[in-house]
Homo-oligomer: A and B are copies of this chain.
């Protein structure tokens, strides 16, 4: 994926905005506008804690929010397989409507394509979002400095394990709910009230480790995280052990990595913890100048472990 993006996409479609590889593009209109797109191909379409419709709205809202924008408008494009259960479609559109309302987003334009049976697996959704930047100084990975602290706003691994538990072929009975939710009400006040928020990202595909490695690659710095400070629920821990999966690499859809200046870190954490979606937030790591390019996990045992970037997708169609 990384090679596809850098060797093909960036090379052919090269322009200064795309090059940023931000969650949202920043467009230089008079109101600074953020612009982001995502296709959703999750399987199954419904899972504990959500469905593809809720996932699409919340995912796009979150991509705008972590870029520092207040979500305003959404486009919605559906690709439907002929013969799709109409009640399921209705339920999914209902979820889209509910989460648009809750986040104050208007779905203003759309497209529907129907393909013949077998040409797509039930239903894919694309949502593209537009929002207005809430800060004049944009959040950017380029703002990050050694000494900055890393906050994780919620328990990790919930989404990936919830979807996995519903895959028919696995026949698992885990009682895990996806964290799928919109983070606008958690993160936008943080931007208003806390100076020194450098960068935010929601660790979706590839999980926490992939997000931290993106920061490392973009800054050339290193990151140290503490295992005992990383919020993971007991259920996710057990399920991951059972399946031989590391929760640090599992997709999330309702928590964020927030990089904040050292001196603002505790204040930011306090603010996040006051919000229902931030109660499990933790100061879990630090940006370090040396060793460069490394992601170091300080384990519960007091040892250090290098966390490598994923080379292959462990859980396909998780979002």
Contact = CB atoms under 8 A, between A and B. Distances in A.
Interface string A7-21: 011001101011000
B77 A38 contact: yes
Interface stretch (A117-125, A141-149, A190-198, A259-267): A117-125
A301 interface: no
Contacts of A112: 1, 4-5, 9
Nearest to A93: B12
Interface string A260-300: 00000000000000000000000000000000000000000
A27 interface: yes
- For the complex formed by this chain, how many copies does it contain in all? 2
Contacts of A78: 39
A110 interface: yes
Nearest to A10: B110
A36 interface: yes
Interface in A157-171: none
Contacts of A41: 79, 113, 115, 119-120
A316 interface: yes
Interface stretch (A100-108, A223-231, A245-253): A100-108
A30 B28 CA distance: 12
A114 interface: yes
Nearest to A80: B4
B4 A35 contact: no
A241 interface: no
B124 A79 contact: yes
Contacts of A93: 8-9, 12-13
Q: Which of A5, A12, A76 has the most CB of B within 10 A?
A: A12
A123 B200 CA distance: 31
Contacts of A25: 73, 75, 108-109
B97 A27 contact: no
14 contacts: A4-B112, A8-B93, A12-B96, A13-B97, A13-B100, A17-B106, A18-B106, A25-B108, A27-B72, A37-B76, A40-B113, A41-B119, A119-B317, A124-B124
Given A8-B93, A35-B108, A79-B124, 9 more contacts: A5-B110, A9-B112, A15-B107, A25-B108, A29-B33, A39-B78, A39-B79, A41-B113, A120-B120
